[in-house]
Structure 1
Amino acid sequence: MTNPSKLFSPIRLGSLELQNRIMVSPMCQYSAVEGNPVDWHFVHLGSLAISGAGLLCLEATAVSPEGRITPGCLGLYSDENQARLQRLVQSLRSVSAIPLALQLSHAGRKASSRTPWEGGSLIAEADGGWRPLAPSAIPQKPEEPAPNAMSVKEIRQVADDFAQAARRARQLGFDAIELHMAHGYLVHQFMSPLSNQRTDEYGGSLDNRIRLALEVFKAVAEAAGPGIPVGVRLSASDWVDGGWDVAQTIALSKQLEALGCSFLDISSGGLSHAQAIPVGPGYQVPFAEQVRQEVQIPVVSVGLITGARQAEDILVQGKADMVAVARGFLHDPRWPWRAAAELGATVGTPKQLLRCLPRGHEPIFGDVRIGQR
């Protein structure tokens, strides 16, 4: 059966074909222990795995202990992390064929933070935190201690850490990797002149400020191998005068595309406490649209995309190739079911749940319509 909906049409990310254009956006849960997933991850991600989405991306996963946003963030920097994550992947694979992506990240100066429900402030070293790393000794907030400005040796170690995490992700059988270069985390900190005031080869000009981004991408793409598409999440704007902006985003996007990047996930903000963001439905879609006009690879749009018609219109109007939904899934883990019912499309559903699809949208299973015996 051919779906009449653009949202429920297939799309290819590099070598990976997805059944529809809905991505479960990576959503930090701040519940890990020493980087390891816990029971919460099995329940939370298990529910999303049977949602009918085209792609499930796991939350930001640190490539080193000091790269965690909070002590409760996932990591993939040790054998124990890999073994525990293997159990989670096996659990998800046992209930769903949904493709799995892993978002690799380093928090930079935003590391060693309390969880959002604890206020999100920096945890002092005396209280069990650690000294964050950054391109320059500029604190995230004026009242916080400055992070350690990284040496060139430490910068190059970051690229190695990303590559090693990518090798582990390949061994775990992930279908795709997304590199987190947005939301004010380490790679974004190098990109923005607001947080990068270096005078060496990693600071100053645009080419220097994006050097780490390109080095990380190349290292990960080589480590992942040709069978695993590697994409990048970017903040298209700092929402602060003199900061990172969409023109620089497009310039970086073109270079990433030339290196073999499989998709771009376009977000914004997160770098500066001075940001002024006019939050509203689809407020980041214009950034995705501008990037999409300049590249040939798929572009994912995010940002308060909550309605089926809203998502469909974004794709039909050529503003993006996919949508990534986060809060909508937290509110309704079966969001794709509702969207398919509204758009007259079909969606993959576990046999055990066929009877509870929206009325009037019961699927054909083989040649038999599922119903009450």
Structure 2
Amino acid sequence: MEMTYNLNIRATTQREGSFMSFADSIMKPATLGRIGVKNRIIRSATYMAGADEKTGNPTPKLIEKYKELAKGGVGLIITGHTYVNSNGKASPRQLSISSDDNISGLANLVSEAHGTGCPMIVQISHAGAFSITAEDGVTLAPSDVKNPMTGRPCKGMTISEIHSLITDFAKAAQRAKVSNADGVQLHLAHGFLLTQFLSPIFNKRKDAYGGEDILKRARIVFEILEEIRYRTGEDFPLWVKISVTEGANEGYSSLEGIRLAQELARVKVDAIEVSGGTFYGDKNLSPSRAGIIAGKNEGYFAEEASAIRERVGKTTQVILVGGLRSQERMVNLFDRGTAEAFSLSRPLIAEPDLVNRWASGDGEPAECISCNACSRTAKAGIVYCPVMRDAAEGIWAPPPEC
């Protein structure tokens, strides 16, 4: 009995020490990408399937979900990806920023977050080859290639279409600013159109928007950033999210992704959120990996984030996303200088009030078991965690994915 008592005392002391470190580093107010936040934990952009299908405006239920999340204690929320034109929609009930008619709804969403003291950034995107609203069923891509998931042919974009798309992204950023959002995040990750331009799988162009070098293939990205800066002003925070590696055979490597991040810092984006992989690539290298265990395999893009942080210095802040579950891991990564903030998605679907729980002194890791069952719920309505729902109702049983 004496040995058990001593072990419990030691475990309690370790947890208290860990929490103090967490409280003194991650939970302190900071400035991230020129935005003041109350802590360094960010809700990473997450498709919630809660917008009106016709208009793309947030429904009252979706606004309530974001309000619940903001009350849960996160330092900042990045909205789920919003499509910048009508042909760029990736999923049913996805948020839109393609029209001035979307400004009012976004303003309501932002206002609810601000009402709890939580800043909000709008993520802007185009689905490209994976669009569900393409004209005549023909999706746009950088080149005339086949979709690697469906085998369907894609139409290579003309120079005129590229220039029009650049304008669409910039107008979307303007709408975000008018809606009183705290900034925008350009979505360069996970396989959507801007990833497709970076990809040697999709981008076979021989003109100024293609080439063997990733920086040449990224020309559209830099022109979008320049046009956004022109239309929104130098003071409007501009973030990017990158897949540091494509995670697919014949795709671009992490070394190329790190070079891209260096160039993004050179053109003075305010923050880079480091993710990786694509939904058409290797499942073992995907952005949302299953089987994450706290203390064992968390933060699977940490090595690449660290390499980027070393190269961008103080020019641009680095945010890490991907499989983060525990205070100890985040403190360790912060102390090592890997990243300056940490993004969570699935854990906050399972526990919208996770950050408040941690702030109260509870040092236990997130309840999320990384089963990806939440991703299946979008078919029926707003995304939720079926595991936590069933546990709360006393009927928990692991779904087949777990």
TM-score by length of 2: 0.77
2:169 aligned with 1:162, yes or no?
Answer: yes
**Which residue number in structure 2 is paired with residue 284 of structure 1?**
301
Q: CA deviation at 1:144?
A: 3.3
SS of equivalent to 2:223: helix
Give 2:57's match in structure 1, choosing from 14, 20, 36: 36
Distance 1:108 1:312 in 2: 38
SS of equivalent to 1:75: coil
Contact 2:144–2:153 (CA<8 Å) still a contact in 1?
yes
SS of equivalent to 2:81: strand
Report the identity percentage. Answer: 29
**Which residue number in structure 2 is paired with residue 68 of structure 1?**
89
Contact 1:188–1:271 (CA<8 Å) still a contact in 2?
no
Contact 2:96–2:102 (CA<8 Å) still a contact in 1?
yes
**Which residue number in structure 2 is paired with residue 367 of structure 1?**
none
**Which residue number in structure 2 is paired with residue 189 of structure 1?**
196
2:223 aligned with 1:215, yes or no?
Answer: yes
Give 2:126's match in structure 1, choosing from 97, 106, 112: 106
**Which residue number in structure 1 is paired with residue 73 of structure 2?**
52
Give 2:105's match in structure 1, choosing from 81, 84, 90: 84
Q: CA deviation at 1:253?
A: 1.5
Give 1:268's match in structure 2, choosing from 271, 276, 285: 276
Q: CA deviation at 1:49?
A: 1.2
2:341 aligned with 1:322, yes or no?
Answer: yes
How many residue pairs align between the two structures? 330
2:149 aligned with 1:136, yes or no?
Answer: no
Contact 2:43–2:345 (CA<8 Å) still a contact in 1?
yes
Contact 1:5–1:343 (CA<8 Å) still a contact in 2?
no
Contact 1:189–1:271 (CA<8 Å) still a contact in 2?
no
Letter of the 1:333 partner, please give it: P
Q: CA deviation at 1:84?
A: 2.0
**Which residue number in structure 2 is paired with residue 295 of structure 1?**
312
Letter of the 1:257 partner, please give it: A
2:348 aligned with 1:340, yes or no?
Answer: no
**Which residue number in structure 2 is paired with residue 115 of structure 1?**
none
SS of equivalent to 2:206: coil
Residues 1:135 and 1:225: Cα distance change in structure 2 (over 3 Å): same
Q: CA deviation at 1:149?
A: 1.0
Give 1:249's match in structure 2, choosing from 239, 254, 257: 257
Higher helix share: 2
Q: CA deviation at 1:145?
A: 1.5
Distance 1:97 1:88 in 2: 13
Once the two structures are superposed, what CA deviation does each residue of 1:2-57 show, in whole Å capped at 9, x if it has no partner? 98521112332343222211101111012322311112211210101112111111
2:278 aligned with 1:258, yes or no?
Answer: no
- Structure 2 gaps of 5+ residues are 1-20, 293-297, 364-402
Distance 2:155 2:226 in 1: 25
SS of equivalent to 1:74: coil
Distance 1:242 1:333 in 2: 38
Q: CA deviation at 1:81?
A: 1.3
Q: CA deviation at 1:343?
A: 7.5
Residues 1:142 and 1:91: Cα distance change in structure 2 (over 3 Å): closer
Distance 2:329 2:149 in 1: 39
> Quick check: 335-344 or 30-39, which moved more?
335-344
Contact 1:257–1:295 (CA<8 Å) still a contact in 2?
yes
4+ runs deviating over 6 angstroms: 123-126
Q: CA deviation at 1:90?
A: 2.7
Contact 2:276–2:285 (CA<8 Å) still a contact in 1?
no
2:326 aligned with 1:310, yes or no?
Answer: no
Distance 2:121 2:92 in 1: 22
Q: CA deviation at 1:103?
A: 0.5
Q: CA deviation at 1:245?
A: 1.7
SS of equivalent to 1:52: coil
Q: CA deviation at 1:323?
A: 0.3
Residues 1:60 and 1:246: Cα distance change in structure 2 (over 3 Å): same
**Which residue number in structure 2 is paired with residue 148 of structure 1?**
155
Distance 2:245 2:202 in 1: 13
Contact 2:246–2:277 (CA<8 Å) still a contact in 1?
yes
Letter of the 1:171 partner, please give it: V
Distance 2:135 2:98 in 1: 21
Give the aligned CA root-mean-square deviation in angstroms.
Answer: 2.3
SS of equivalent to 1:232: strand
For 1:216-231, list aligned pairs within 5 A: 216-231=224-239
For 1:107-122, list aligned pairs within 5 A: 107-112=127-132
Q: CA deviation at 1:308?
A: 1.9
Distance 2:252 2:36 in 1: 32
Contact 1:308–1:343 (CA<8 Å) still a contact in 2?
no
Q: CA deviation at 1:212?
A: 0.8
Distance 2:57 2:164 in 1: 22
